[in-house]
Chain A
Amino acid sequence: MTAVTAPPKKASAGPAPTRRTARLRPVVRVLSLLAALGLWQLLTTLDVQLWLRFDQFPSVTDVAGEFGERIGDGAYWQDVTDSLRRIVTGFLLAAVLGVAAGVAVGRSRWAADLVGTVLEVLRPVPAIALVPVAILLFPSNEQGIVFITFTAAFFPVLVATRHAVRALAPVWEEAVLTMGGGRWRVLASVVLPGALPGIFGGLSVGIGVSWICVISAEMISGEYGVGYRTWQDYTVIDYPGVFTGIVTIGLLGWLTSTVVELLGRRLTHWLPRREGKATA
């Protein structure tokens, strides 16, 4: 490794991030990732056993080798597309229905009385505990898995939407009413755009929970997918395979939450942001 010329550190010790430190941020991110991988490699190749045992643990190179092999295999991509299809279907359903239910419950006393209580009782039930219900309800495992994924994301989206809708400034609605706008105009021009920042908070949480549930559901009901494969590899003690699965889940989760994040930032570009534009 060639010596990286250390940037002059305290060149601008101010509260506002300068252009130079901004350019440095991606470098820091890559370096921290490399450091984590390096630590992993070190612990596993040295077979460290300090209460935590790394002797059975596959090393980074083991996993990378396994990963490289599987990427060339059609079965791997079949699993990835299976899992992605399930999560995208379940998540999109949850987004649409969660926003609709959240707006209804947040805006209408009738809707709140009618479905609010039922939803509040169902909400604390972990989606994964609904596996038996899904098996009873749906003719195929596939639909059951999508249902579990949907349920997982539905409640965070519902709750975030309801809060966002209730927190809207009343003047916005009154302004539209005094322009002659009706219910639907208020909904389209005030409620939905105004609640969007909050809704995206719920969607970000939702996509994360969805992954937890799609993987768990695949492990339990076994109809292919990354979760199923990971569990299969575990049962045949193929640890590099297990870690390939874990890395795949991590990458897919990161990919989908980034899509949600970027979409959210694009749709709420009107929010006042600091000039420095803190990027996540």
Chain B
Amino acid sequence: MSTDTDTTVTAPRTEQPAPGARLSVTGAELGRPGAVVLRGLDLEAAPGEILTVVGPSGCGKSTLLRTLAGLLPALAGQVVQDGRPVTGPGADRALVFQEDALLPWRTARANVELPLAIRGLGRAERRARAEQWLERVGLAGLERQLPHRLSGGQRQRVQLARALAGQPRAVLMDEPFGALDAQTRASMQQLLVEVLQGTGATVVFVTHDVDEALFLGDRVALLGAGGLAGVRPVPSPRDRGARDTPATVALRHDILESLGPRAS
């Protein structure tokens, strides 16, 4: 399944998004030489799904994401996107960081414009698209603000807009809402669901919050201290009402059990 390599950038393809990427790691040993955090990992994210990865701090969630992004080479095994090995970072896999990854000298709009500039879009078009994305994440009117003028939640919205503006086939999210207060986090989860609609992008979402993993994910991958402890399908993804159904309660219980007694 080879996607057309020379797609014209001028035609907006929001109506008919390219399918999300299929990302997989097989027999992977991840980490840095001398500091391996994950061994023998097999995991796959199907096109267009939201795969949440939940686990305690230090289990290697971030390492997994950075490897998928191509920032960190696998020490052994394979990292594959749509049948081709991942050899480095690329615009088709956007990374949303937990920490503030906005360029502080660029306004919100200029930050969102950056991936579009890298793709070679003209000034007028990238400005229009950036404003469109900022509006979609609820930041209309704040386009010209510098990051330090925005709240933590607003900055993560800009990061989200920046990641999606590049029309990636996969979005890799590293605890993007981890530093936000509970209320902001809930509204950001809702926003994420809304803005992902129609993009078709595959999402790998790393979190240590089991409820967040259960709300957002089509499937939840459990990453414990000893490696992958299973992948569970979520009965009713992205449905707040399903929070207390017996199926969800049982799954939450199962996840907490699998991750060990001290998992939070």
Q: Whole-angstrom distance between the alpha carbons of A189 and B119 in the complex? A: 14
Asked if B118 lies at the interface with its beta carbon under 8 angstroms from chain A, I say yes
Q: Whole-angstrom distance between the alpha carbons of A103 and B205 in the complex? A: 35
Q: Which of A178, A180, A189 contacts B103 (CB 8 A)?
A: A189
Q: Give the residues in chain A near B97, CB-CB below 8 Å.
A: 171, 174-175
In the complex, what's the smallest C-beta–C-beta distance from B3 to chain A, in angstroms?
A: 15
Contact at A190–B103, with CB atoms within 8 Å?
Answer: yes
Interface members, chain A 78-131 (any B CB < 8 Å): none
The winner among A175, A185, A270, A272 for most chain B CB atoms within 10 A is: A175
Q: Give the residues in chain A near B100, CB-CB below 8 Å.
A: 171
Q: Whole-angstrom distance between the alpha carbons of A43 and B88 in the complex? A: 72
Asked if A194 lies at the interface with its beta carbon under 8 angstroms from chain B, I say yes
Given known contacts A171-B99, A270-B146, A178 and B94 CB-to-CB distance under 8 angstroms: yes
Q: Give the residues in chain A near B148, CB-CB below 8 Å.
A: 270, 272
* Cβ-Cβ contact count across A and B, 8 Å cutoff: 66
Q: Which of B88, B90, B101 contacts A175 (CB 8 A)?
A: B101
Contact at B103–A172, with CB atoms within 8 Å?
Answer: yes
In the complex, what's the smallest C-beta–C-beta distance from A244 to chain B, in angstroms?
A: 43
Q: Give the residues in chain B near A52, CB-CB below 8 Å.
A: none
Contact at B93–A270, with CB atoms within 8 Å?
Answer: no
Given known contacts A171-B97, A174-B71, A185-B118, A193 and B91 CB-to-CB distance under 8 angstroms: no
Q: Which of A179, A193, A194 contacts B115 (CB 8 A)?
A: A179
The A interface, classified by DSSP as helix, strand, loop or mixed, is helix
Q: Which of B101, B102, B162 contacts A174 (CB 8 A)?
A: B101
Q: Whole-angstrom distance between the alpha carbons of A59 and B117 in the complex? A: 62
Q: Give the residues in chain B near A172, CB-CB below 8 Å.
A: 101, 103
Asked if B69 lies at the interface with its beta carbon under 8 angstroms from chain A, I say yes
Q: Whole-angstrom distance between the alpha carbons of A175 and B106 in the complex? A: 14
Instruction: Report the nearest B residue to A171, measured CB to CB.
Output: B101
In the complex, what's the smallest C-beta–C-beta distance from B178 to chain A, in angstroms?
A: 14
Q: Whole-angstrom distance between the alpha carbons of A178 and B88 in the complex? A: 9
Q: Give the size range of B's interface with the partner.
A: 20 to 34
Contact at B105–A270, with CB atoms within 8 Å?
Answer: yes
Asked if B198 lies at the interface with its beta carbon under 8 angstroms from chain A, I say no
Asked if B114 lies at the interface with its beta carbon under 8 angstroms from chain A, I say yes
Contact at B114–A189, with CB atoms within 8 Å?
Answer: yes
Q: Whole-angstrom distance between the alpha carbons of A164 and B88 in the complex? A: 26
Q: Give the residues in chain B near A194, CB-CB below 8 Å.
A: 103, 105
Q: Which of B70, B102, B104, B114 contacts A179 (CB 8 A)?
A: B114
Contact at A193–B105, with CB atoms within 8 Å?
Answer: yes
In the complex, what's the smallest C-beta–C-beta distance from B250 to chain A, in angstroms?
A: 37
Contact at B114–A174, with CB atoms within 8 Å?
Answer: no
Asked if B237 lies at the interface with its beta carbon under 8 angstroms from chain A, I say no
Q: Give the residues in chain B near A178, CB-CB below 8 Å.
A: 69-71, 89-91, 93-95
Interface members, chain A 135-173 (any B CB < 8 Å): 171-172
Q: Give the residues in chain A near B92, CB-CB below 8 Å.
A: 180
Q: Whole-angstrom distance between the alpha carbons of A143 and B91 in the complex? A: 49
Contact at B104–A270, with CB atoms within 8 Å?
Answer: yes
Instruction: Report the nearest A residue to B146, measured CB to CB.
Output: A270
The winner among A179, A190, A193, A194 for most chain B CB atoms within 10 A is: A179
Interface members, chain B 68-98 (any A CB < 8 Å): 69-71, 88-95, 97
Q: Give the residues in chain B near A250, CB-CB below 8 Å.
A: none
Q: Give the residues in chain A near B91, CB-CB below 8 Å.
A: 178-180
In the complex, what's the smallest C-beta–C-beta distance from B109 to chain A, in angstroms?
A: 14
In the complex, what's the smallest C-beta–C-beta distance from B264 to chain A, in angstroms?
A: 25
Q: Give the residues in chain B near A176, CB-CB below 8 Å.
A: 114, 118
Instruction: Known A-B contacts: A171-B100, A178-B94, A189-B103. Give 8 more (CB < 8 A).
Output: A172-B103, A175-B95, A177-B71, A178-B89, A179-B162, A180-B119, A185-B118, A271-B104
Q: Which 7 A-B pairs have the closest CB atoms?
A: A180-B91, A179-B115, A270-B105, A178-B95, A177-B89, A171-B101, A272-B148
- 21 interchain pairs (CB within 8 A)? A171-B100, A174-B71, A174-B89, A175-B97, A175-B101, A177-B88, A178-B89, A178-B90, A178-B94, A179-B94, A179-B162, A181-B114, A185-B118, A189-B103, A193-B103, A193-B105, A194-B103, A270-B104, A270-B105, A270-B106, A271-B104
